[in-house]
Structure 1
């Protein structure tokens, strides 16, 4: 008597869908878990509340890769490069193309925040800025939390993959 096998089609279907299921339901979430560890450290290291509030995590799937990003987006994002890398000493002035024929003093009086007013005092048409010290927060966050991020990703995978199958929902790109 020949043995009969049942469920062969279902097993093949399950195995064929497995890479897609792993990518959408497990690996993307694992990448997000790892990135969240780094993002939390970056927020703690930033000396600017605006920059900390603008630190976001995003994931995306590109062909056969899952990409997780810790990025600074939104209000306060423009400050991030200055904090991370500092600035060299430089002059600040009102660009002639922005004056519309007005003196710098008039530009200052008409501007809501004043272009060359410091502590309410008009300081002239040009100001020497001594530069800003760097306060790195992104790269040190990755360097310090790399191992913890890998552990978070592994934990995410371990809690969602078992002998019984894959648990959890599909991961989207919510920030």
Structure 2
């Protein structure tokens, strides 16, 4: 297991705590966005591409949850035109039977059938490998963004560097 630590983080945290809460929250949100964008770029690089819809659906979101900023990188979506199948690509699907609803039929290849034996789908993970592969760069991006914003606010911000430790 790889733990990624940021050298200079204690000093960054101390400097953040000296700021008003709203400014601190904005700095952390922007740093989380920068870190998540690193993961997003790696996921877009690793995702299998046919039409490009799945790749184009990968996006970053930063929201407040219980008063704390939280960043997420998601793929797919539930809006019209967005791919619904991201989880099938990431995790695969076991072979299964698809049955028509009672009194209905399934339209397959111009004909109608009552059931289809689906062979399943082999998994092709892209989100987890993106996180694993870009964690170090994401933590570095987070630290650098906090440092940039603190400097912009007129505070003396320490240099930051990623420190890897193996468990």
TM superposition score normalised by structure 1: 0.67
Match of 1:96 in 2: 102
Q: Are positions 1:156 and 2:145 aligned together?
A: yes
Q: In 2, are the aligned partners of 1:38 and 1:146 still within 8 Å (CA)?
A: yes
Q: Distance in 2 between matches of 1:68 and 1:77?
A: 21
Match of 2:163 in 1: none
Q: Are positions 1:142 and 2:131 aligned together?
A: yes
Q: Distance in 1 between matches of 2:18 and 2:150?
A: 17
Q: In 2, are the aligned partners of 1:35 and 1:69 still within 8 Å (CA)?
A: yes
The equivalent position to 1:69 in structure 2, one of 68, 72, 81, is 72
- For the pair shown, the structure with the greater C-alpha radius of gyration is 1
Cα distance change on mapping 1:164 and 1:23 into 2, 3 Å = closer
Q: Distance in 1 between matches of 2:153 and 2:102?
A: 69
Specify the SS of the correspondent of 2:85: helix
Match of 1:8 in 2: none
Q: Structure 1: any 5+ residue segments left out of the alignment? A: 1-14, 105-114, 167-175
Q: Report the structure, 1 or 2, having the larger strand content.
A: 2
Q: In 2, are the aligned partners of 1:116 and 1:127 still within 8 Å (CA)?
A: no
Deviation at 1:156, TM superposition (A): 1.1
Q: Distance in 2 between matches of 1:90 and 1:55?
A: 28
Q: Distance in 2 between matches of 1:149 and 1:77?
A: 26
Q: Report the structure, 1 or 2, having the larger helix content.
A: 1
The equivalent position to 1:57 in structure 2, one of 60, 66, 78, is 60
Match of 1:12 in 2: none
Deviation at 1:61, TM superposition (A): 2.1
Match of 1:33 in 2: 34
Q: Deviation digits for residues 26-52 of structure 1, max 9, x if unmatched?
A: 110000000011111112211142211
Q: Which moved more, 1:63-72 or 1:156-165?
A: 156-165
Q: Which moved more, 1:48-57 or 1:154-163?
A: 154-163
Please tell me the root mean square deviation across aligned C-alpha atoms, in Å.
Answer: 2.3
With a CA cutoff of 8 Å and minimum separation of 6, indicate the structure with the bigger relative contact order.
2
